[in-house]
Structure 1
Amino acid sequence: MSKEKRRGFIGSYTSYAMLYFFSYFTLASFNAVLPVYLTGIGKQTSEMSFILSASSFFSLAIGPLAGYLCDRTRRPRLISGLLMAGMAGMSLLFGLSRETLSLFLLNGVLMSFLVATQPVSEQLASTGPYRYGVLRVWGTVGYSAGAQAAGIAVQSFPPMALFSMVATSALLTALGFGCIGKGTAPQPVREEKEGKPRPSLSIFLRQPQFLLYIAITFLVMGCSNINNAFLPLLLKDFGVPTGVVGTALSIGTLVEIPVILFSNKFMDRFSSKALLMATTLIFAVQYLCYGLAASVWAVAIPLVLLKAVATTLVMMLNLKVVRNLIPSELVTVGLSTVSACNALGSILMQNAGGVFADHFPIQTLYLVLAGMAGITLLMSMLLRVKDREKVFS
């Protein structure tokens, strides 16, 4: 590529599309059918849940630390690129490992690296030169492609084919962070230039509504991670081949495209409270359908129509709520804090879900999740956020 073409590519819409496509392709290709891969190499459901919970455990420390470094150094793209390069190497080691403890440690490190970059990419999508929806939609396309590719890889090729694909995609994501241009990094804050003190991190503890939101998403994302782990296994129980599981997850992801593309039409128009209530209701309906399903179609239809929509709404809500509750200087730390608390919920609930599934049918587990989603719906009625800032318009 000539110097002129390189200059034209850096900071262009194409460079953003590359970043979001490969970031979510990496997430899906590693995560979408990982439960099937782990049970396929002989891991029990409790062992599988233990391994998957590692990402949440490690994210408790790595997520907030990475967020703090990004806000303090004002070099979020560099830090995120280094984390993705580290994930590439760890994914290859994961494919070579079979011991439960080594899989736990490797999964924890590589997934926490990836999760730590997501608050950065979300904030860049909302502050860059292009509208959030037309950037973030490439993440949906990437996740859909990654889920499909992972299903085919696990079913038809040796395991290292999958993890080599993950590593390549992670490196391309790292390249994407370097190509979106210097102008997209958060700018120095005016108050710091005028000598005013930087807001203390203790502000998170002095915000009751922020703490309430964390408590709600703690339960919501804990249940969602159980769903991510056990939905492929539920489909397998109904006799669905691994390749078709990947296809179902891929198609389900594409449904979120209009939600993201038209996010400017509703995310700033409705209150955070109304959006959170609608999201928790979608989760509750989804889990209830899985728990009562008598055929594979009763699982596939809510999977396609509801699963990706609900998780996408949570991601956008995180950005909306944090931007309206937390000072701009600490937004990345705030997003990372939400992510870390969600990770704690995932640790506790995913391991509990694995033990539960060892003794009861998976569909019984989903009825429990439906009840917990109902509790979060009631909690969301108490949320109060002054939605002053337009994030998605």
Structure 2
Amino acid sequence: MMKVRPQASLAWLSACYFFFFAILGIMVPYLGVFFDDRGFNPQQIGFLLAIVMGTRIIAPNVWARVADKTGMRAQLIKMGALVAAFSYTSFFYDGSFTYMAISLAVYTFFWNAILAQLEVITLETLGDKAYRYGAIRSFGSIGYICLVVAGGFAIEAFGPQVLPYIGMGLFLGMLLCSLPLPNETKTVNRGETKALAFNRSIIWFLIAAMLLQMSAGPFYGFFVLYLKQAGYTESIAGIFVALGVVSEIVMFMFAPKLLARFSVITLLKVSTAMTVIRWLLLAVAVESVLWLTVSQLLHSFTFGLVHAASIQFVYQAFDKSHQSQGQALYASLGFGLGGSMGIWICGFIWGDGSGAVWTWVFAAMCAAASLLALYVIHKPGSALKASDAVAA
């Protein structure tokens, strides 16, 4: 089977990252506003947004097992993009709460077939140049910025119901960019395949990732609403979100040097401590443009450095035959279970808006708990020691 040159693969991978995170850039900050405009209450919004995160608990692991056993990573990306785009058309109908819950569950189940496979293909394509991961991944951040800013102005000009039209265009862009990725398959010799193993370091890393993403619950679900409550417009809120992603891109540029100099655990500890500070700033100083700006610049640690270090931890900790499952576990327990629990709980804390500040206090407490969990971890390399592992 003919393969495209690595340079071409990296170009299309960069484009896939762009569209994948561009979709998140329009969906994550503004989905709460979209549901609010359709008349759902905060508890319903919290539940619906939790579904977006919740499908990451099961779906990535299902697709990862298929990918690791068949090697059909690129095919899963294409299939996920196609079915997700088709099922996303349900957003155009103004249905009931139950209808929207089912719609979200279906499209996000297939959408979650994409990212873990994209991460593995990227790292495999880079090979011994894995330090260039940040440069490729930064295209995703650029896509997020473009749509977070454009989405804010579009919603302000045309209303929240413009969101499905923008989203569909991005879904189709993702599908088109995934088509040139080379299809591959592999035959797995079950007798030579190592059992998926966990040790204390991996377990505590996953717990820390879950708690950190729980802390991001109010940011993923209610940040724009929180800024609107504080007197900012959707377009200004979009600019603040974009500012955070700009800082993330800058961090991706410096991440290779930091990863070469410091251990991934050290970087995770520093980043998580910065996250605690970030959420506390939002709790007490959201009306100050200066401190709101500082809090958004800390996104470089909250997500940028955390993600770069976490991807490297998983890449080092899991056997090559279980790379998809390792990335899926990180996504499902962190962004999936942690993110959905955080958003769901924050929906109740938020209430009618009177509990908005307390959602950020809750976020800071979750981040602090994540920091404590990181102090139990030693290093990802220890995950390969059979004497300390539990097979799954």
Short-chain TM bin: 0.7 to 0.9
Moved more, 275-284 or 88-97: 88-97
Structure-2 separation of matches of 1:312 and 1:294: 22
Structure-2 separation of matches of 1:17 and 1:116: 17
Structure-2 separation of matches of 1:153 and 1:339: 30
Tell me the CA shift for residue 51 of structure 1. 0.4
Q: Secondary structure at the match of 1:42?
A: coil
Moved more, 273-282 or 354-363: 354-363
For 2:68, the equivalent position in structure 1 comes to 71
1:371 corresponds, among 365, 372, 385, to 365
For 1:60, the equivalent position in structure 2 comes to 57
TM-score normalised according to structure 1 size: 0.87
Tell me the CA shift for residue 13 of structure 1. 4.5
Q: 1:317 to 1:38 in 2, by over 3 A?
A: same
Structure-2 separation of matches of 1:199 and 1:218: 26
Q: Does 1:315 align with 2:316?
A: no
Conservation of the 8 A alpha-carbon contact between 1:24 and 1:142 = yes
Residues 28-54 of structure 1: CA deviation (Å, up to 9, x unaligned): 122221111211222211111010001
Tell me the CA shift for residue 78 of structure 1. 1.0
Structure-1 separation of matches of 2:5 and 2:65: 32
Structure-2 separation of matches of 1:105 and 1:297: 39
Within a 5 Å distance, the mapping from 1:186-205 to structure 2 comes to 196-201=191-196, 203-204=197-198
Within a 5 Å distance, the mapping from 1:225-374 to structure 2 comes to 225-293=217-285, 295-297=287-289, 300-342=292-334, 343-358=336-351, 360-374=354-368
- The residue type equivalent to 2:70 in the other structure is T
Q: Does 1:214 align with 2:206?
A: yes
Conservation of the 8 A alpha-carbon contact between 2:76 and 2:113 = no
Residues 182-206 of structure 1: CA deviation (Å, up to 9, x unaligned): 5xx6x859xx66x8521223x23xx
Tell me the CA shift for residue 299 of structure 1. 5.4
- The residue type equivalent to 2:179 in the other structure is G
Structure-2 separation of matches of 1:225 and 1:268: 31
> Tell me, which stretches of 5 or more residues in structure 2 are unaligned?
384-392
Q: Does 1:87 align with 2:84?
A: yes
For 1:4, the equivalent position in structure 2 comes to none
Tell me the CA shift for residue 314 of structure 1. 2.7
Structure-1 separation of matches of 2:368 and 2:264: 18
For 2:24, the equivalent position in structure 1 comes to 27
- The residue type equivalent to 1:261 in the other structure is M
Residues 346-383 of structure 1: CA deviation (Å, up to 9, x unaligned): 33332121111116421122112212211221221111
Question: Over aligned residues, Cα RMSD in angstroms?
Answer: 2.6
Tell me the CA shift for residue 80 of structure 1. 1.2
Q: 1:321 to 1:13 in 2, by over 3 A?
A: closer
- The residue type equivalent to 1:172 in the other structure is G
> Tell me, which stretches of 5 or more residues in structure 1 are unaligned?
1-6
Q: Secondary structure at the match of 1:315?
A: helix
Tell me the CA shift for residue 10 of structure 1. 8.2
Tell me the CA shift for residue 95 of structure 1. 3.1
Tell me the CA shift for residue 110 of structure 1. 2.3
Conservation of the 8 A alpha-carbon contact between 2:51 and 2:101 = yes
Q: Secondary structure at the match of 1:135?
A: helix
Structure-2 separation of matches of 1:28 and 1:124: 23
Using the aligned pairs only, state the percent identity: 18
Conservation of the 8 A alpha-carbon contact between 1:64 and 1:340 = yes
2:377 corresponds, among 375, 383, 390, to 383
TM-score normalised according to structure 2 size: 0.87
> In the comparison of the two structures, how many residue pairs are matched?
375
Q: Secondary structure at the match of 1:87?
A: helix
Q: 1:235 to 1:280 in 2, by over 3 A?
A: same
For 2:95, the equivalent position in structure 1 comes to 98
Conservation of the 8 A alpha-carbon contact between 2:269 and 2:374 = yes
Residues 272-312 of structure 1: CA deviation (Å, up to 9, x unaligned): 22011012112101001011115141553134301254112
Conservation of the 8 A alpha-carbon contact between 2:279 and 2:295 = no
Structure-1 separation of matches of 2:219 and 2:28: 12
Residues 100-155 of structure 1: CA deviation (Å, up to 9, x unaligned): 12222222332343333111222233222472122111111111011122222322
Q: 1:318 to 1:114 in 2, by over 3 A?
A: farther
